[in-house]
Amino acid sequence: MWQRDSWRYILEITRSHVQRALGFTDEVIAQYPNRLAGTQSCREAAKRIKEEFARYCDPGTVQVEEFTIHP
């Protein structure tokens, strides 16, 4: 999966990686429709995306930022 290239490591992207990414995208689209900014569906999708990213990122680095919506 990881290949050494002189002083760095390069992640080899496989068909499985692509399928998982697209599968996760399909999941978010199906489970959280109508995700206009600021809607409940949008906030729930953000929580799910944070949960998924936290599985792969350094601890404490994944955060959902708050923002204000103006009509």
pLDDT tens figures, 50-59:
999 999 899 9
CB 69 within 8 A of CB 38: yes
67 is a domain residue: no
Can you give the pLDDT at residue 2?
61
Domain, as residue range, for 39: 2-54
Total structural domains within the chain: 1
CA distances (Å), origin 10, targets 5, 7, 19, 65, 68 = 7, 10, 19, 30, 39
65 is a domain residue: no
26 is a domain residue: yes
Write the CB contacts of 9 (distance below 8 Å, at least 6 apart in sequence): 2, 3
pLDDT tens, 1-59?
666 666 778 888 999 999 999 999 999 999 999 999 989 999 999 999 999 999 989 99
CA atoms of 65 and 71, how far apart (whole Å)? 19
10 is a domain residue: yes
